[in-house]
Structure 1
């Protein structure tokens, strides 16, 4: 009988873990702030370097503000059901603020509560995702930072048009991610007036990414991976295909260049996370409400080129790039 009860307890514990995704709790305390410790629920759709860097920046901003914070960190592992369960649990726990790191995470948070303030980052199109009424005037209970610089995609398309042989751009993305669909639309608009065309491949999970990349061999002259969480979490499989078949791989952010992409016009996710953390500090201390804090675009944009990746993908470095790009080996 006791063994049966023990087995039941183990099964129940495992079920709760599956429902809540992958989570951890941590506390960041700073001297001189008094006894108030704020509870922040952190929801993130998947783990990958860019989102992780944004969370690091968020924490550092709050530390720099001298606040004492208890974090409940939950990763949905790409599962939308987990994603919503995490947000609902934060509401039940009555956290002081939800930090939503990705578009799906932010949408789930706003679906779960209209009372607990939400600060988001790594969101491509806050207006299109219906997180805010406008960038200047959010108008609700959420604000944050976007991971799309208005010039990033147009500049990438211009670079491809000017310097890359061929006109077929392979794009792998999850059509179920609103932020990805929005970016593909921006790519199409940026291509007007050129002879470039998109070769799209849609995936639903990270497990499908490698096969999707392989399907572009012979059909695309280069590959462009936007800031799609599903694909970026499995980027190494795309890098391998691009290297094996001499397909220049353009990516949507700098962390993916460091992982092995050829080039990106981007910014540091740490920076947009830090800016979101500064917003969170204003909200937690009662100085501002989300509706009073305009959503922010990234402040810095640069072209980063990976020399090693260029060699592996058959790209000859052009001296013209020296004046417009930074390089990593």
Structure 2
């Protein structure tokens, strides 16, 4: 045997024990993780969930390689959530993500108490019965809360800046949504401290929205605060068009509302929340238990001002308020 051949043979033999762990690692990295996502609203996979998917990719998850992405949407029809949740559970996901709001995660938890669930933007996880406490969820679900203690006061202050004089604020909400009760409690506390009058106008269905806004106008409301709710988001364009026609300044929560033509949006940084939700998915896939992952509360908020809408309403936005905005739409 030639010396070069002998060296090559010995070198190859010596390399085998080293190569085997790398081969095992490569096989492990290509394991298929099934991640399910239950959405209430239409298009969540390209809007709210987009930062989550981007973060999962940064963490090394690739659809078609080591991740199966199982997405189902109720397209705004709450009555479909239970059926879709059951379909996702039957497919046996490693993690089930409850999309925007409270109703999708509630449907997910009703469908399974064993599969880990990560919710993305629940207003009151404890009050809705999703977790035992924020610090120690205790069950198979954890995730992101979407409500902070001082957000109501900030929204009322923004409306007072736009329409000075502490004039009547109309609050548009759906009393059947778990989020509404907690948000309304905070509004009452903040309004009392700020001495701002307000009246609540209920809308349980999309058809009730125009009548609720008309009642607010008839009551002499000078501005409107719109709660984050699936029904109201489903009627978003109706709300925007109707308050514009009445020249009624309105403040919303999600950024998408200002992008659609709403005057102001103020709320948690949804992009950041969904990225943190992706981190939780990764932790769970690596062995963490949802019961031990505390529910995260928002710490960063976004102020979006639609200057085009302000001009159409004949409103003058102060330079100070514009300077404080995270984004100005022109």
TM-score (norm 2): 0.83
SS at match of 1:216: helix
The answer for the alignment partner of 1:60 in structure 2 is 54
SS at match of 2:198: strand
SS at match of 2:262: coil
Larger Rg belongs to = 2
SS at match of 2:228: coil
The answer for the alignment partner of 1:222 in structure 2 is 223
Alpha carbons 2:209, 2:232 under 8 Å: kept: yes
Q: CA deviation at 1:57?
A: 1.6
* Pairing 1:51-130 to 2, within 5 Å after superposition: 52-67=46-61, 68-101=66-99, 102-130=101-129
Q: CA deviation at 1:48?
A: 6.0
The answer for the alignment partner of 1:253 in structure 2 is 254
Ranges of 4+ aligned residues in structure 1 off by more than 4 Å: none
SS at match of 1:193: helix
User: Which stretch has the larger CA shift, 123-132 or 205-214?
Assistant: 205-214
Alpha carbons 1:161, 1:194 under 8 Å: kept: no
The answer for the alignment partner of 2:265 in structure 1 is 264
Uncovered stretches (5+) of structure 1, i.e. residues with no partner? 1-30
Uncovered stretches (5+) of structure 2, i.e. residues with no partner? 1-25
The answer for the alignment partner of 2:283 in structure 1 is 282
The answer for the alignment partner of 1:34 in structure 2 is 29
Structure with bigger RCO (C-alpha 8 Å, 6+ apart): 1
Q: CA deviation at 1:216?
A: 2.2
TM-score (norm 1): 0.83
The answer for the alignment partner of 1:298 in structure 2 is 298
- What RMSD over aligned residues (CA atoms) do the two structures have, in Å? 2.1
The answer for the alignment partner of 1:17 in structure 2 is none
Q: CA deviation at 1:231?
A: 0.4
Note if 1:242 corresponds to 2:243.
Answer: yes
SS at match of 1:71: strand
Counting matched residue pairs gives 297
Alpha carbons 1:45, 1:77 under 8 Å: kept: yes
